[in-house]
Amino acid sequence: MTETTPVIQQRQLPDVLPDYGDLHPVLRRLYAARQVRSAQELEYSLKNLLPFWQLKGIDAAVELLVQAVEQDQRILIIGDFDVDGATSTALAVECLQMFGLAQTSFLVPNRFKYGYGLTPGIVEEAARLNPDLIITVDNGISSLAGVQRANALGIKVLITDHHLAGAELPAAAAIVNPNQPGCEFASKALPGVGVIFYVMMALRARLRERNWFEHTGQAEPNLAGVLDLVALGTVADVVPLDYNNRILIAQGIARVRAGQGRPGIHALLEVAARDPRRLVTSDFGFCVAPRINAAGRLDDMATGINCLLSRDAGEAMTLARQLDSLNRERRDIEDVMKQQALALLDTMSLDENSLPIGLCLFEESWHEGVVGIVASRLKDRLHRPVIAFANAGSGELKGSARSVKGLHIRDALDAVAACHPGLISKFGGHAMAAGLSLPRENYETFARAFDTEVRRHLGEADLFGVLLSDGPLDESEISLPLAEELRSAGPWGQLFEEPRFDGEFIVVQHRIVGEKHLKLTLQIPGSRQLVDAIAFHTTDEDWPAGVERVETVYQLDVNEFRGQRSVQLIIQHIQPLGL
């Protein structure tokens, strides 16, 4: 089983580049290719955020919270077991306590016992804490039965979520979700942590209007202190980085770089050997987020939330080390499962051209908390939608789905459910990722139905990955100053991708480092200039002997070693030439 070879395409540029002011020519090209229309869209001041009053349901939500503040009610936050959910939970608890709601606590459903969202089971457990108000963060929009049970128990529910709504909305006291029908909020890409941040901004504004802070003598909360949480959750949830989201991320990263981040984030960066002063979005996405996610995947997300909430550096470091240990365990489990998945594909006795286009895989021993990562790895390798299933017990399978461009995975599951009533127990998600449950005996039927539905949208010609490139760099541009500029020019992320370039190089030296990474010294053709490069997860088995010239797609990055900073290429695709 081999990877599909991606096609390299250069990003399209407008005929006339917008006026961005005094910027490096490469940066002007990058921003134009990402549809930045003016220099204004590169100004990441909080004053440019979209107004909270655009959110449908915000007034009803604020009225609930004002009542809670004035009556000192008991508030229970129900979160999710991913990083967006963890940061949303930590933000809600911290902000509400800053508003004087000392009786604010949180409860995160154990994914292995209750599953996702505000289920009737988690409501029963929540009821033991006798809350006056339940606030969901990063979940709840599909929790019809859970909200119904809460209402029956006399517990009000405020839903804050960003996932796509179903045909029916829960009967909650208030719902704030930019993706609910009729919401005019201009950014549909706001993550869960962004939604609850907007709710807290609206609450502060309402209390300010009522002169509540003056009457009580309580200090008005500075919500800038939680922007590090907003930035982390937004990056980790891989939502599109529209202008509004870029403002939130840029502000949060600036606080961490300035030493104003919370102890938990600093501790997680330290165990990941990342310098907070040089923080970039990829540090959040590839170093901090996986360590927090590991808690939700293998154990209890409360560990991650408590790390983010901790104000004591020593306690935060202890929790960060626990998360780091869980992440190493998660990687070991993932490696085994990935090899088992590849072996499953081999036993099908099929080549890539005859594999199902919508691919489902199930192995009895797979870990329910890690199947999403395996699905993602296989999706990248085979460039087709993949659903990996695990045995959830009681005759049920739980699947995690990852998609490719051209297929909205949640809509595909909705179509399968509509054509085959009763086949899927429940599902939900986004365009590119979703989760579902189904009876074990339905697996084979579902796998065929899913492939049939995917083939309605994708054909064999769609099964080749496309690597978008910002074009080649000349000799003078492969430099440390430009690499430094690119690092600070973000925030880069989903649909505002980190710059990557393509070009041919002569291989001067290569060796394997860390047992699984290819370290190279490359020469620019027609020049004497040499540049260091590294291709992660590329070994001798992937590298034919006698290679002298390569085609690459790479990021221009900065390598720091023993206090010395130098330019380095991070190879994302490497293809031998002339063999």
Domain ranges of the chain: 7-11+467-577, 48-261, 348-462
What is the radius of gyration, based on Cα positions, of the chain? 24
Q: For residue range 20-35, list pLDDT tens digits in order.
A: 989 999 999 999 999 9
The Cα-based distances of 445 to 418, 425, 459, 466 in angstroms read 14, 14, 21, 31
Query: Half-sphere exposure of 56 toward its Cβ, with a 13 Å CA cutoff?
Result: 15
Angle subtended at Cα 28 by Cα 27 and Cα 33, rounded to the nearest 5 degrees: 95
Detail the DSSP E strand segments found in 161-228: 174-176
How confident is residue 204, by pLDDT bands cut at 50, 70 and 90? very high
pLDDT at residue 345 in the model: 83
Question: Of 92, 137, 87, 97, which Cα lies nearest the Cα of 117?
Answer: 137
Please give the mean pLDDT across all residues of the chain. Answer: 92
CATH 3.90.1640.30 fits 48-261, yes or no: yes
**Helix H or strand E segment including 566:** strand 564-577
CA 106/CA 93 separation, integer angstroms: 7
What tokens appear for 335 in the block? 């490696």
Mean pLDDT of 382-405: 93
Sequence letter at residue 393: G
Mean pLDDT of 222-249: 96
pLDDT of 541 higher than 80: no
- Bond prior to 131 in cis (omega within 30° of 0): no
Strands 156-160 and 133-137: parallel
Give 438-502 as a 3 state SS string: EEHHHHHHHHHHHHHHHHCCCCHHHCCCEEEECCCCCHHHCCHHHHHHHHHCCCCECCECCCCEE
pLDDT at residue 1 in the model: 45
CA 369/CA 112 separation, integer angstroms: 8
Q: For residue range 139-176, list pLDDT tens digits in order.
A: 999 999 999 999 999 999 999 999 988 889 999 999 99
Residues in Cβ contact with 451 at an 8 Å cutoff, skipping those fewer than 6 apart: 356, 357, 358, 359, 360
CATH 3.30.420.10 fits 348-462, yes or no: no
Sequence letter at residue 446: F
Q: Which residues of 345-372 are buried (b: 16+ CB within 10 A; e: fewer)?
A: beeeeeebeebbbbbbbbbeebbbbbbb
CA 160/CA 79 separation, integer angstroms: 10
What tokens appear for 330 in the block? 């998660």
CA 422/CA 16 separation, integer angstroms: 54
pLDDT of 6 higher than 90: no
Q: For residue range 471-513, list pLDDT tens digits in order.
A: 999 999 999 999 999 998 989 999 999 999 999 999 999 888 8
pLDDT at residue 165 in the model: 87
What tokens appear for 470 in the block? 């910002």
What tokens appear for 344 in the block? 């499953």
Q: Which residue has the tokens 């365990």?
A: 329
State whether residue 549 is helix, strand or coil: strand
Q: For residue range 88-107, list pLDDT tens digits in order.
A: 999 999 999 999 999 999 99
CA 143/CA 149 separation, integer angstroms: 10
pLDDT of 298 higher than 90: no
State whether residue 338 is helix, strand or coil: helix
H and E: helices and strands count for the chain: 18, 17
Candidates 3.40.50.300, 1.10.260.40, 2.40.50.460, 3.30.70.1150; correct CATH number of 7-11+467-577?
2.40.50.460
CA 523/CA 421 separation, integer angstroms: 60
How confident is residue 545, by pLDDT bands cut at 50, 70 and 90? low
State whether residue 518 is helix, strand or coil: strand
Look at the pTM and tell me if it is higher than 0.85. yes
Q: Which residue has the tokens 């940061």?
A: 87
How many CB atoms within 10 Å of residue 334?
A: 17
Q: For residue range 550-578, list pLDDT tens digits in order.
A: 999 999 999 988 778 999 999 999 888 86
